[in-house]
Amino acid sequence: MKRLLISLAFSSLVLAPFGSALAFDPNYIISDEDLTNPFALDRNQIQAYLDRGFLGTYRTEDNTGVVRYAADIILRTAQSAGVSPKFLLVLLQKEQSLVEDDAPTDSQLDWATGYAVCDDCSKDDGTIQRWRGFGKQVNSAALQFSEGYLADIENSGSTQGKYGPDLPVKIDSTTVTPANAATAALYAYTPHLHGNSNFASIWDRWFGENYPSGSLLQAVGDPNVYLITDGYKRLITSYSALTSRFNSSLIIQVNTTLLSNYPDGTPINFPNYSLLQDEDSNIFLLVDETLRKIDSDKTFNSIGFSSDEIVDITNTERAQYSEGLAITSATIAPTGQLYQLKTNKAVYYVRDGVRQVIVDPAILAARFPNEEPTPVDSVIIEQYKEGKALLLPDGNLVKGAGSPTVYIITDGMRRAIDSESTFLSFGWSWNKILTISDEALALHPLGAALTSE
């Protein structure tokens, strides 16, 4: 795949919100990893999809006869069979519309994945009754792919002597050449174009774009802004919480359906460095996602805090945060301080007695857009312990001065965006790309490339 190149031809492009379906490519439906990653969704994420319809509260026997919720059956089956829960969700929707159906029939539930039922077969056929039932259907379909089709392809290059990577096959009078094992297996299960086109359409609608952690998303026409964190959307409940923590110019407009694919995470209610007091009269400083208890009134006053700034919270709200190191009278600059050396103009961020150099002006602007560092002599900086260089915040697009490759910063890493089409599919803007020195870019560990496939 080509690397993303920046050119003037695209610099003034106005991006439309992401939301159009990708054209169906019969030769490539999903990647092998999309089919075989059993940890692609956790239990809460599966439940969020099932809550769209009847399956959200559905309990029935699994393949061993134990009564479980549908979400647990899907998760356990995915992990035991080695297939993706995303794949199982799409299969359930493709075969019987089960994920989004509010009132499915017994027949839909009994033959949930269409396993053992051919297009011209009767569901009353006595020879297939041993596969009747939601739990058995999910399990049998999963094993058919993992221990059947994919195992056959790995061992002999094809399944049923017909479907395999790079093997042309006639599907509905059209020659299809599966590009990978997953696509070949899907044709082995559903040997016609319409069913696989439907599968691809559902997949694209639900999983077409998985935004990296640190992305800010907003549904078109909705004032709410969400932070994407590890596959969850976290509502940012106030303007002050948004502006104190994030760059609002990086908000990406998406369609409502795409946003609804993310289950709700913990809301972001307070600005960074808020003073929060619980029901037991403990006062905490909120630092990013951590509460740091202020150990005494003396410490509170010595740092210069004001009681007018304190916000009351419940103990339940307090429990949503992890608790960090307590703030004592010995704690230096718990809310952080910017300094600039008078000599060489180097900029440092000091917090908790640790200094972090800021090696590029773009990192300074991204981290502290409205702050000016205090000029100091080197003796001031040297009293603090040296820490790692400060990196760009998650959600920023960046390139090095000496390379055209564009990266997205997520989880503190830089992930290369593999092509122009991938860049556009995420709704990013060319004018949001920061350029930093190659040395500064190299400080960000390199993660896996980001692709729209």
* Crossing angle (nearest 10°) for helices 193-207 and 181-189: 130
Q: What's the pLDDT at 133?
A: 96
- Residue pair 164/185 in contact by the 8 Å Cβ criterion: no
354 contact partners, CB below 8 Å, separation of at least 6:
384, 385, 386, 387
Please report how many Cα atoms fall inside a 13 Å half-sphere around the Cα of residue 90, on the Cβ side.
26
CA atoms within 13 A on the CB side of 417: 31
Give residue 269's pLDDT.
93
Torsion angles phi and psi, residue 322, rounded to 5: -80, 155
Domain co-membership, 79 together with 50: yes
In whole angstroms, what is the distance from residue 86 CA to residue 207 CA? Answer: 8
- The encoded tokens of residue 171 equal 């599907």
Same domain? 374 vs 318: no
Is 64 a member of any domain?
yes
Distances (CA, A) of 355 to 4, 74, 341, 412: 35, 48, 12, 18
What separation in angstroms does the CA of 429 have from each of 206, 283, 285?
Answer: 23, 41, 35
Q: Is-contact 285 335, C-beta < 8 A?
A: yes
**Helix spans in 82-133 (H):** 85-96, 106-110
Helices (H), 163-233: 181-189, 193-207
Q: Is residue 288 part of a domain?
A: yes
Asked if residue 212 is part of any domain, the answer here is: no
Instruction: Tell me if residue 342 falls in helix, strand or coil.
Output: coil
How many domains does one find in the chain? 3
Examine the domain organization and report whether 60 and 83 are in the same domain.
yes
Q: Identify whether residues 78 and 158 lie together within a single domain.
A: yes
Confidence at residue 119, expressed as pLDDT on a 0 to 100 scale:
65
**Which residues does the chain have with pLDDT short of 70?**
1-23, 119-120, 452-453
Distance CA 102, CA 316 (A): 33
Give the angle subtended at the CA of 251 by the CAs of 250 and 252, to the nearest 5°. 110
In 3-state terms, what secondary structure has residue 445? coil
Q: What are the helix and strand counts (H, E) for the chain? A: 17, 22
Domain annotation covers residue 452: no
| 292, 284 Cβ separation under 8 angstroms | yes
Same domain, 40 and 183: yes
Q: Which of 260, 225, 251 is nearest to 395 (CA)?
A: 251
- Helix, strand, or coil (residue 64): coil
Joined tokens for residue 383: 């009293």
Do 170 and 289 share a structural domain?
Answer: no
362 found inside a domain: yes
- Report the relative pairing of strands 406-410 and 413-416 from DSSP bridges: antiparallel
pLDDT for position 437: 96
Residue in the structure block whose two tokens are 């006595």: 126
Within this chain, do residues 199 and 314 fall inside the same structural domain, yes or no? no
* Phi, psi for 310 (deg, rounded to 5): -75, 135
Domain presence at residue 154: yes
Which residues span the domain enclosing 133? 32-207
One domain, residues 198 and 311: no
Direct distance between the N- and C-terminal alpha carbons of the chain, in angstroms, rounded to an integer = 11
Residues 301 and 367 in one domain: no
How many CB atoms are located within 10 Å of the residue 316 CB?
9
Kindly report the CA angle at 196 between 190 and 197, in degrees rounded to 5?
155
Q: Residue 79: inside a domain, yes or no?
A: yes
By DSSP bridging, strand 225-229 and strand 232-236 are antiparallel
- Write down which residue in 207, 238, 255 finishes a domain: 207
| Cβ atoms within 10 Å, residue 391 | 21
For residues 433, 438, 442 and 446, what is the CA-based torsion angle, rounded to 10 degrees? 50
Angle made by CA atoms 110, 118, 55, in degrees to the nearest 5: 25
Domain co-membership, 283 together with 136: no
Q: HSE (CB half, 13 Å, CA atoms) of 344?
A: 8
Contact 320, 266 (CB under 8 A): yes
Q: What pLDDT, on the 0 to 100 scale, is given for residue 16?
A: 32
- Cα angle 146, 150, 151; round to 5: 85
Residue 82 shares a structural domain with residue 113: yes
Decide if 258 is inside a domain: no
171 and 288 both lie in a single domain: no
